[in-house]
Amino acid sequence: MPQESQSELSRAHLSRLRKLWRSAGWPVRDAIELDLLVHRYLDRHVDAFGRDCLSLSEAGVQALGADTAVNRRRLDRHESLCLRLAEWLVSQGRLAFLGSRFRAKIDSRWRIARPDVFSIRRTTRETGLAPIAYEVKVERSDLLGDLSRTGKRAGYLQVAHQLYYVLREGIAEPTEIPPECGVMIGTATDFRILRAAPSREVPWGHGHWMSLLSSRRVTSSGEPPQRELGARWEGASQPAPALSGDRDVRAP
């Protein structure tokens, strides 16, 4: 972990720098802290009460600042793709929401499911809502970490008929995504379905509506209105699968 290369810092080291930046600087005295001291990312000092404390050195501040800038760029890419997806869904005739939070009971415990994007059909028939959750990923490392969280996916599947992973182009193959999920690719200009998500029936009730009322509904789009995906599902030889209750083929 050479001092001159901030990129050599592990996530654990950067996380410790961030915690010390936000705290009073009390030492933990473990291997991570020792690494940071040896390579001069931290300084030691004594506070007014005679207690040993740590603070970020100039090198530590620069390293943390560089990592924060990387995270901010990653977040901007993620938020941009989420908004583009929501607007695209609106152009396909669905109602799309950002920032939704649903309560889901997983293994006898209540958890909060926070899909990046959530959509329902624009219909007056409750049985035809076809709610769908979308998990958006722009970085492969983030995707791999998310795939190990089975409880998170289980929460989505409790509130949606279908779950789609929406991937930035080039970060993964559809075969890497669990079979209970569909796969979409977000290109620079459009979205493509690479694998349709299996559909399941999920009871829809008062709590779901209250969650949507607290979400941000996307109401406009720069995409052409009501654009059809076409007669065939890209990447497959059979016609595009329709959603539950759909007579026409539209975006999931």
Q: Which residues pair with 120 in a beta bridge?
A: 95
DSSP 86: H
pLDDT tens track for 202-240: 888 888 899 889 899 998 644 444 333 333 333 343 433
Domains of the chain (ranges, CATH numbers): 6-56 (no CATH), 73-218 (3.40.1350)
Confidence of residue 34 (pLDDT cuts 50, 70, 90): very high
Q: How far apart are CA 80 and CA 119, in angstroms?
A: 17
Share of the chain above pLDDT 90, in %: 51
Residue in the structure block whose two tokens are 């959530």: 118
Confidence of residue 251 (pLDDT cuts 50, 70, 90): low
C-beta of residue 224 within 8 angstroms of C-beta of residue 108: no
**In this structure, which amino acid lies at residue 6?**
Q
Q: How far apart are CA 138 and CA 75, in angstroms?
A: 9
Q: At residue 247, does pLDDT exceed 70? A: no
Q: How far apart are CA 218 and CA 192, in angstroms?
A: 20
Alpha carbon 25 to its chain centroid, in Å, reads: 32
Q: Which of 94-98, 151-155, 230-234 has the lowest mean pLDDT?
A: 230-234
Q: What is the mean pLDDT of residues 151-159?
A: 91
Query: Burial level of 63, CB count in 10 A (0-12/13-18/19+)?
Result: buried
Work out the mean pLDDT of the chain and round it to a whole number. 83
pLDDT tens track for 39-77: 999 999 998 888 999 999 999 999 988 888 877 776 678
**Higher model confidence: residue 249 or residue 212?**
212
Q: At residue 163, does pLDDT exceed 50? A: yes
Q: How far apart are CA 71 and CA 249, in angstroms?
A: 37
Looking at residue 75, what is its pLDDT?
66
